[in-house]
Amino acid sequence: IGRYSDVPEKFPNVESFHTFRVNHPSGWFYTTKALRQLCDVWEKYGSGMTNFHGSTGDIILLGAPTANLQPCFDALSDMGADLGGSGSIWGTQSPCPAGQGCCNCSLTTSASVA
């Protein structure tokens, strides 16, 4: 999600302050290893600030400069993170027993229908 300051001369450290949404893993359980990897990537490319979205289980990563967007996206993808927004696939926010991806043929997360 792109965010830019209207007054970058007053607040140069937040001239660009983009966010990433990391969709929860299947079953809504994050492993300690995955959380550590996520935090390491975010410390390297972003502000280090996070927000856990309670109703969906998503993790919001707050504050990356524009120059770090692609390297951060690549690093998160390499670790297997399911990056959010409506993106290239569309499904519900409910966990799917089939894994991280949602069915790309319908708006259901049921493996038996997919």
Domain parsing of the chain, residue ranges = 12-83
Give the strand pairing for 49-52 and 18-23. unpaired
- Separation of alpha carbons 31 and 84, rounded Å: 19
For residue 60 the two structure tokens come to 């919001």
Q: Are 8 and 15 in contact (CB under 8 A)?
A: yes
Phi, psi of 5, rounded to the nearest 5 degrees:
-80, 140
Structure tokens at 47: 């502000």
CATH class of 12-83: alpha beta
Q: Do the Cβ atoms of 11 and 63 come closer than 8 Å?
A: no
pLDDT digits (tens, 9 = 90+) for 89-111: 444 444 445 544 555 554 544 55
Burial of 76 (0-12, 13-18, 19+ CB in 10 A): buried
Angstrom distance (rounded) from CA 81 to CA 105? 21
Q: Please give the residue that has the higher pLDDT: either 92 or 48.
A: 48
Q: Residue 26's pLDDT is what?
A: 72
Other beta carbons within 10 angstroms of residue 41's beta carbon come to: 22
pTM higher than 0.75? no
